[in-house]
Amino acid sequence: MKLLRSLAIPKFVIVIAFLYALYYPFLYLVLYLSTPAGYTLVGGRSMDDGILLYFMRSFQNDFADPWSYLLPMKTYASPSFTTPLIYLPLGYLAYLMRIPYFVMDLLVQALANFVFLLVIYLFIGGFVDRRHTNLAFLLFSLSSGSGGFIYFLLALGGNYESFFDPSTIYHQAMEGIYDFFETQGLIPITTMRLYYTFPLICGFLELICFKRFLDSGGKGRLILSGLFLGLTFAFYPIHGIAFALITFLMAAVSIAKIGFRQNWAKLSSLSVVYTISLAGTLPWLFSYLQNPIMFRIYADVVASRARLTYLVLVMSMNLIFTVYDFYKTIGNRQMLIYLLVAVGSLISFEVFMLVLQNDFFLNVRLPQFLLAFPSYSKLSMVSLAGVFSLLFLIEVNRLRKRAGFFSENLSFFYLWLALFTALSIAPAKLFFGLNTYRSVHFLWLPLAIISSSGIQKVAFSMTNRILKWKQGGGFPQVLKTASDKGLSAVKRAFSLERYLATLIVTLIIFISIFSFIFYAIFFVQIPLRSLYPAYVTNEDYNALTYLKSLPQGHALSSPEIGYFLPFITDKFSLLGSVEHTLDYYEKFNDYKKFFSVTTTHDERRKILKKYRIDYVFQGYKESSISHGWLKLGAADGLELIFNNKGARIYRVSIDTRSSY
C-alpha cells in the first residue's frame, strides 16, 4: 500500500483494479459450482485452457508438442503456443510450489489484471491533469458498447423465463444482438489471457518510460523503454509492433511541437529503443527457423480484420463525445462533415458487401459491375482508411498551431486512434498474415481519453447555457462578476460543470454495466450449453485418467477431447485446434472416417498406420459420429483394454504397430 500511495493512485482505482483481478476467478468458480451432474470440469469457455495448461507442464514431457508429433516439434519453438517466456516459467513455479496448474494460471492472471489497471492509470496521468485522468480511467475501465443494455431493454418486453434459458430462440436472438454490439468491446476480453495482459503491461511501461525521456531526458529511461519494448515483442510480437508504432507517434508529435531540427536528438532516440527491443524478437526468429511451416499455418488461421460497422456500434457511446471533441477542437464544420461522409461511405460499402455475399442473393441475377465489386474490396478498404487517416493528420497540424498542453497531447491520441482504426479494418493479407484484428484492443484507451475531453466540453457548454438562462450571461459574465464580488460564483459554475461531467460518465457506466453482467452470464452459459470441451463426462474423464497410466503413445480422439488429452494423460493427440495441428482438416476427415459405420476394417488399419496411432479413445463425442457404440476389434487392428460403459480405450495390436 505504501508503494501505491507513493504513486498517488486513488483508492477508487485500486478498488476497480481489485474487482478486475477477481473477475475471471469468480467466473471459473461459478463454472466449477455449476458443473452438470455426471460431468467433470476440465477447462473454461475456450479450448485454449487445455492447450495452455499442457504448455505449462510440457517440461515434464521433454517439451514435446503433442499435436504435431509427426514432425516432431518442441513447445518452445511453436508459434501457435504464443511464447515460452510466460507459461514455461509459470509451469515450473506451479510444480515447485505444488499448486495446480489451473489455479496458478488464474492467480497470476488476477495479479496481472490488477497491475495492468494501475499501469493504465499512471500512463494516462502522464498526459492529462488529475481530473481528466480520473474521467478517462473510468471510461476506459467501466465503459463499453450498448449491446448489454439493448439486450436488457428487449428482454423486459419478452418472456422472463427465457431471459436466461439458452435453449429458447428468444435467448439466442438476444445473444446475437449482444455479440453484434459487443464481442471485443469489454476490457475483460482484452485481458482474458496472460499472453495478452503481460505484453500490454510491458508495452505501457515502455510508453511511460519513453514519455518521461521526452519530457525530462535521461539515458536510463531510454534503455528501460527499449527493454520493456523487447519484452513486449518476446511475449506477443503483434503487440510489440503495435507499441513500436505508438512510440513512433509519440516521438513524432513531440517533435512537431518545436520543430524537426531542434528535436533531432529525440528522433534519433527511437533508433536506440528499437535496437534494444530487437532482442525480444530472437525467440520468434528461432521459432521461425525451426518451424516455418507452422508459422504459415498459424498466420492463415488467425489472420483476420474487424469491420468498421461493428467498431462504430461497439464504440458508439464514447464515439459520440469523441466526434464532439473533434468538432469543438478544430472548429471546422466542413471538415467534420468530410470525415463523417468518409466513414459513412466505408460503412455503407461494408454493409453492401455483406448483403451482396448473403445466400439470399444466390438466385438473383446481379449486374456484372456489382459482381466485380468483391475483387476491388481490398483496394477500396485501404483507400478509404487512408482518407480517414489523412483527415486526422490534417487535424494534428492544426492542433500543433494551437496553444494548450492538453490539446497538443490530444493530437497524439487522435493519431493513435486513426492509425489503429485503419489497421483494425485493413485486409490481413496486406500485412503478411498478421492478425490485424488484434489492433482493436488498442482503440479503447485513446477513445476513452479523447471522449473524456469531449465530455468536459459538453459539460462546459451545458453549464454555459444554464448560466445564460439563469443569469443572462455565460462563463464570461461569471468571470467578470467574480472580479468584482469574489470567486464564489466561479466556484459554483465550475462545480456545476464537474457535476454534469460526472453525471454523463455515470450514465455511460450505467449503460455499460449491463454488458459486463451479460458477458459474465454468457461466459458461464456457453460452456454449460455445449459442455465440450469445458466439461467431459465422468466416464470420459475416468478413461483419460486410466490412459495416463499407460506407456507413452499417440492417441486418436475427437478434437474436443484432444484439446485436454495431452494435459490429462501426457500422451500425444492426433487432433487439437486448427492452428496447432499440421494438416488439420485431412486429419479431421480421417478421424470422422475412422468412426464411421461405413468404413471398412482395412481402411481403419490404414488410418492407424498413417498416423502411427497407439491408442484409440472412444467416448461420448466419438460415438456421436456413428450414432451409437461402434464395434471395434481385432479386425480393425485393436484390442479393448478399458470399458466403463461410457467410454472405451483400445490399444493398437502389436501386429498392426509392427507395420508402422
Q: What is the mean pLDDT of each run of 10 residues along the chain (660 residues)?
A: 66 93 91 90 79 86 79 71 77 92 92 95 90 91 79 67 59 58 64 88 95 86 93 88 91 71 69 90 79 67 59 74 81 68 66 52 46 50 57 54 51 86 67 61 89 88 72 52 51 75 90 83 80 86 92 90 90 84 87 90 91 91 83 86 90 80
Separation of alpha carbons 341 and 335, rounded Å = 10
Q: Which one-letter DSSP state was computed for residue 158?
A: S
pLDDT of residue 353: 58
pLDDT of residue 658: 74
Strands (E) across 129-267 are located at: none
pLDDT of residue 162: 55
Separation of alpha carbons 246 and 255, rounded Å = 14
Burial 419-431 (b: 16+ CB within 10 A, else e): bbbbbbbbbbeeb
Hey, where are the domains in the chain? 2-145, 303-445, 457-529, 535-657
Separation of alpha carbons 459 and 455, rounded Å = 6
**In what helix (H) or strand (E) does residue 536 lie, and over which residues does it extend?**
strand 535-537
Q: Which one-letter DSSP state was computed for residue 472?
A: S
pLDDT of residue 623: 87
pLDDT of residue 123: 94
How many residues does this entry show for the chain?
660
pLDDT of residue 655: 77
Q: Assess contact for 454 and 324: CB atoms under 8 A.
A: yes
pLDDT of residue 483: 47
pLDDT of residue 340: 72
Separation of alpha carbons 175 and 183, rounded Å = 11
Q: Which residues contact 373 (CB under 8 A, 6 or more apart)?
A: 352, 353, 356
Separation of alpha carbons 178 and 512, rounded Å = 12
pLDDT of residue 484: 46
pLDDT of residue 17: 94
pLDDT of residue 329: 75
pLDDT of residue 405: 35
| Phi, psi for 60 (deg, rounded to 5) | -80, -10
Q: Where are the alpha helices (DSSP H) in 472-577?
A: 475-485, 488-530, 538-548, 559-562, 565-569
Separation of alpha carbons 386 and 366, rounded Å = 30
pLDDT of residue 406: 38
Short-list 204, 236, 186, 235, CA closest to 24 = 186
Neighbours of 555 (CB within 10 A): 24
